[in-house]
């Protein structure tokens, strides 16, 4: 199972490298990673999708909480949350009928055309993990030239809480 882990970390050089090294050094994988500033310029938010069972995720969370630069750790997976991922997909569409099919498919997924040239069309889609996976699955029959993905970002839907470490796997 994939788990979405949010970390608030001090916005300092080397923090990202230490956290990635901590997780990968223990043999765990990070499927996606997204880091960005928060409203407080001294704090960054890291969202990681880490595959594993409850034991693996418990270990990852405990290791993260031990880090000096980590302010808060939350496993978002079983909490009420909103997650999104942005993808850009470039598709070969030399045939006009293929282009029309791709545009029609894009409209079903509320994606939009962001670039067109003689031989390709580039689509932008924003959605949750399942919608992105479904969209990419339906695009497989076409000739995909390139795919670029932002990685998952997530925000908690529960009430505002104080910054305290969340040790539960939830």
Instruction: Quote the pLDDT of residue 74.
Output: 93
- H or E segment to which residue 19 belongs: helix 15-25
Q: Where are the domains of the chain?
A: 2-79, 82-149
pLDDT of res. 170: 46
Residue 112 confidence (pLDDT): 95
pLDDT at 166: 46
pLDDT of amino acid 158: 77
pLDDT at 162: 52
- What pLDDT is stored for residue 167 in this prediction? 45
Q: DSSP for 92-147? A: E--SHHHHHHHHHHHHHTT-EEEEE-SSEEEEEEEE-HHHHHHHHHHHTTS-EEEE
The token pair at 87 is 């993808």
pLDDT of residue 96: 86
Helix (H) or strand (E) holding 16: helix 15-25
Pairing verdict, β 70-75 and 81-92: unpaired
Specify whether the CB–CB gap between 21 and 67 falls below 8 A: no
Distances (CA, A) of 152 to 45, 49, 77: 12, 7, 12
Distances (CA, A) of 17 to 13, 25, 58, 69, 85: 9, 11, 21, 12, 22
Same fold, 2-79 and 82-149: yes
pLDDT of residue 95: 86
Q: Please give the full DSSP string across 28-69, using - where no structure is assigned.
A: ---SEEEEEE-SSTTEEEEEEEEE--HHHHHHHHHHHHT-TT
* From the candidate CATH numbers 1.10.760.10, 3.30.70.260, 1.10.10.60, 3.10.129.10, the one assigned to the domain spanning 2-79: 3.30.70.260
Name the β-bridge partners of 49: 4, 32
CATH superfamily of 82-149: ACT-like. Chain A, domain 2 (3.30.70.1150)
Q: What is the mean pLDDT of each run of 10 residues along the chain (170 residues)?
A: 94 93 91 94 95 91 93 92 96 91 94 95 95 96 96 83 48
């Amino acid at each position: 199972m994939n788990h979405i882990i949010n970390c608030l970390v001090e916005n300092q050089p080397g923090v990202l490298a230490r956290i990635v090294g901590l997780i990968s050094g223990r043999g765990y994988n990070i499927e996606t990673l997204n880091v960005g500033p928060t409203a407080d310029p001294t704090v960054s938010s890291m969202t990681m999708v880490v595959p594993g069972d409850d034991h693996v995720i418990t270990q990852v969370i405990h290791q993260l909480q031990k880090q000096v630069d980590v302010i808060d750790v939350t496993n978002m997976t079983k909490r009420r949350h909103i997650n999104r991922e942005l993808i850009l997909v470039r598709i070969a569409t030399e045939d006009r009928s293929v282009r029309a099919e791709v545009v029609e498919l894009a409209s079903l997924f509320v994606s939009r055309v962001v670039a067109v040239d003689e031989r390709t069309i580039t689509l932008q889609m924003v959605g949750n993990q399942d919608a992105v996976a479904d969209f990419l699955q339906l695009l497989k029959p076409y000739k995909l030239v390139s795919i670029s993905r932002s990685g998952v970002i997530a925000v908690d839907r529960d009430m505002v809480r104080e910054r305290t470490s969340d040790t539960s796997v939830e």
